[in-house]
Chain A
Amino acid sequence: MKIIIPIKQVPETGDVKMDSATGTMKRDGVRSIVNPLDLYAIETGLKIKESTGAHITVITMGPPKAAEALKEAVAMGCDDAMLLSDKSFAGSDTCATSYVLAMAIKKIADYNLVICGERATDGDTGQVGPGISAWLNLPVCTYISKIISAGEKILTAERLVEDGYETLEIKGPCVITVVKEAASPRLPTLSGKIRAKKLTIPILGPSDINAHPEHLGLAGSPTKVVKIETPKITRNGELIIPKSPEEMEAAADKIIKYFHKLDII
């Protein structure tokens, strides 16, 4: 069995500072990590590997520095890695990104399962997983919360939906995106780190994956960002400090009336 896990390197959220003048993220000196939600995809893959002996390839599109994220995944137990890095990839939206990842997956070939995180903590779109399936013309199941059994041809999994869970049988090869419940990520081990350090990660450009220039970068990105702004917080609270039992009664009445108005009680 062969599993491919596309991941993304994102800024550490604890570190993120916004530039109030431009409304964009300050990237200087911000440390990068594996997208936390991709860790659930990696762990899901590793669990399947433990039970089936599957081979896992982890891939990412990004600057050369993104190799660090791939190495972290290898240190956790993934078998090999591939970095998609080229100037022509810069400025890709989710459509162009999923195209590049899909072409890379096609190049790897003979895979049974593609596991993605639900979304990335920086872009927050959740479109790349389904995008890959569209480019590859494969079935996709989003919000998978549990793998029941993973066969080469059929994957049985539980999916988180608004009013509960549904159990699905999916014909492989297929693409799934997983949620937090799917698996709790393991920590990288020393032996994994040493293996990752020794591993040479191939860097592939557009010609290596037979990608058409019109689908890449800004040219291949139908999304146009017009303006980025920080939303204003419109919530406002009222603090009631009762100083006597009478005021306490009045305060309680006020809260009850408010809840009635909101139809909460």
Chain B
Amino acid sequence: MIKILAELNMNNYEKVTENIYRELISICGEKFVIYRDPEKLEPFSHDEVTDKSYHHMPEAVVRPAGAQEIAAIMKLANKYKIPVTPRGGGSGLSLGAVPVFGGIVIFLDRMNRILEIDSKNMVITVEPGVITNEINEAASGIGLFFAGYPMSLQSCFIGGNVAENAGGGKAVKYGVTGRYILGMEFVTPEGEITCLGGKIVKNVTGYDLINLMTGSEGTLGIITKIYTKLMPKPTEITDLLVLFKNAEDAINMVPLIITESKIIPAAIEFIDRLSAHTSCRYLNEDIPYEKAGAMLLIEVDGTDKQKLEDDYEKIGSLCMKNGAIEVYVADNFTTQERIWNVRRNIAEAFMVISPEQSLEDITVPVAEIPKIIPELERLSAKYNIQIPCYGHAGDGNLHVTPVKNPAQTHEEWKNILPSVLEELYIETGKLGGVISGEHGIGYKRKKYLKYSLDDTAIDLMKRIKKSFDPNNILNPGKIFDL
């Protein structure tokens, strides 16, 4: 059914013809338009979702230099009814940057300037193509940092972070990207340029369109300039790797860490037995992981070394009192890299077992996390697949990742995966959770949106989309079908 709808929609769009190609060249210059070159277009047909059945080729890729050029492209696309998909670093996990209906991909890599670092206002103004980590490198010189921390910060673009309202490992203490976006300039789907907010902290002037744009998954506008709030950079960081007998003990510990110690760690990451063992084996890591049924990785940060020592001792002792087998302390780069590597390499370690997997990012209220674990065990047994579970437990956001059993055929896997996800999402909803906490709905999860939102909410969202984009030109086929 969805396939048929997609095809119907597709028929409403025109193709990128030779004439349109020439018009794109007149806007951006020949050097910055890719057309009829499958090899060069291919990298723009996917993001980090590996399942090839989701990949779609664009007809043209343009690399504009600024907002004016994007506005001209959008006007052109509206005139000829060509779909346009904006793209950042391509590290997304919801197929948000995939041109489902072909058309034009706007790749923002050339808009990669840091426009201003204003230390007095603690605001950095950037273009969308700046790699997130470069913001930190630039801010570091004046003792500041950008507290949004997606795991892909070495490769993702800030524009994509804003469009997806990216989360990541440090949301427990610092929240997600949206908390730091004070203003933006963007091009509307119809090709107008507008500006919201600025270097101001408080702003209730009209509807909060900044927060609407943040996390709109590139469906409501193309962000061309971002005002980002910076924070004082913590000078001291200590990580604890805590081994527990079982997942229950580890997960039960998560809410206790904050409620009992009254300390908010920068990160609380959960690693289940399967993930810990697979990653440690993959890394040849000698941590005595065999005895661990689950692990927590807790990061505390601050500016006072003594205070930080007290904090981690308090949290570590609390864990020992509540059934931890061992607490390892990493307060320098060498040991910190070692324990974060266990967490960072989980996905890659499972790729070795089976590249066919579905990286999910359900979010439940923190106190409900213990209830999701038995459900995963049930699903795992029912469908005879591995479902490692790891992620940002401190904010209730878990990377539940069904992995194809190598004994299953591709067809068997394709048949069971929707049922696995459906059952997982229904259970998540029952616990008061949502189907995506940081990756977004995009193209990958749109058929499951109903498990988190009722008809009224979805209808309101569709009406918002139509008022922004009457011709449904910008990033169509994402979040929901109009």
| A residues lining the B interface (CB < 8 Å) | 12, 14-15, 31, 33, 36, 72, 75, 184, 186-194, 197
Contact = CB atoms under 8 A, between A and B. Distances in A.
Contact of B329 (A12, A14, A36, A188): A188
Interface string B322-344: 00001111101111001100000
Interface residues of B, number: 21
Interface in B283-314: 286-287, 309, 312-313
Given A190-B316, A190-B320, A184 B286 contact: yes
Nearest to B338: A187
Contacts of A191: 327
Interface in B211-250: 240-241
A57 to B, nearest CB: 22
B194 interface: no
Contact of A33 (B313, B327, B332): B332
Contacts of A194: 313
B307 to A, nearest CB: 14
B285 to A, nearest CB: 9
Interface string B379-400: 0000000000000000000000
Nearest to B319: A190
Q: Which among A36, A75, A187, A191 has the highest number of chain B CB atoms within 10 Å?
A: A187
Interface of B: 240-241, 286-287, 309, 312-313, 316-317, 320, 326-330, 332-335, 338-339
Task: Specify the main secondary structure of chain A where it touches its partner.
Answer: helix
Contacts of A14: 333
B338 A33 contact: no
A15 B333 contact: yes
A171 B338 CA distance: 37
B330 to A, nearest CB: 7
A243 to B, nearest CB: 13
Contacts of B328: 187-190
Nearest to B327: A190
A31 to B, nearest CB: 7
A207 B468 CA distance: 81
B329 A190 contact: yes
Contact of A31 (B312, B329, B333): B333
Contacts of B330: 187-188
Given A188-B328, A190-B313, A194-B313, A33 B333 contact: yes
B167 to A, nearest CB: 26
B313 A12 contact: no
A72 B338 CA distance: 16
Contacts of B332: 12, 31, 33, 72
A97 B241 CA distance: 36
Q: Which among A33, A72, A188, A193 has the highest number of chain B CB atoms within 10 Å?
A: A193
Given A187-B328, A189-B329, A190-B329, A36 B313 contact: no
A186 B287 CA distance: 7
B154 to A, nearest CB: 14
Contacts of A75: 329
Nearest to B284: A184
Given A187-B335, A189-B329, A194-B313, 9 more contacts: A12-B334, A31-B333, A72-B332, A187-B241, A187-B339, A189-B326, A190-B240, A190-B316, A190-B329
A189 B317 CA distance: 11
A147 B338 CA distance: 25
Contacts of A36: 334
A197 B333 contact: no
The list of the 4 closest CB pairs from A to B, nearest first, reads: A190-B327, A187-B328, A190-B316, A184-B286
Contact of A186 (B286, B309, B313, B317): B286
Nearest to B324: A190
Contacts of A197: 309
A31 B313 CA distance: 22
Q: Which among A188, A190, A197 has the highest number of chain B CB atoms within 10 Å?
A: A190
Contacts of B329: 75, 187-190, 192-193
A190 B313 CA distance: 7
Contacts of A187: 241, 287, 328-330, 335, 338-339
Contact of A188 (B320, B333, B335): B335
Nearest to A186: B286
A72 B287 CA distance: 17
8 contacts: A36-B334, A75-B329, A187-B338, A189-B327, A190-B313, A190-B316, A190-B320, A190-B327
Contacts of B240: 190
Contacts of A189: 326-329
A240 to B, nearest CB: 19
A204 B9 CA distance: 81
Q: Which among B241, B312, B327 has the highest number of chain A CB atoms within 10 Å?
A: B327
Contacts of A188: 328-330, 335
Contacts of A193: 313, 329
Given A187-B338, A188-B328, A189-B328, A12 B333 contact: yes
Q: Which among B320, B328, B338 has the highest number of chain A CB atoms within 10 Å?
A: B328
B110 to A, nearest CB: 24
A184 to B, nearest CB: 4
B284 to A, nearest CB: 9
Contacts of B339: 187
A69 B279 CA distance: 29
Contacts of A72: 332
A197 B286 CA distance: 25
A84 to B, nearest CB: 22
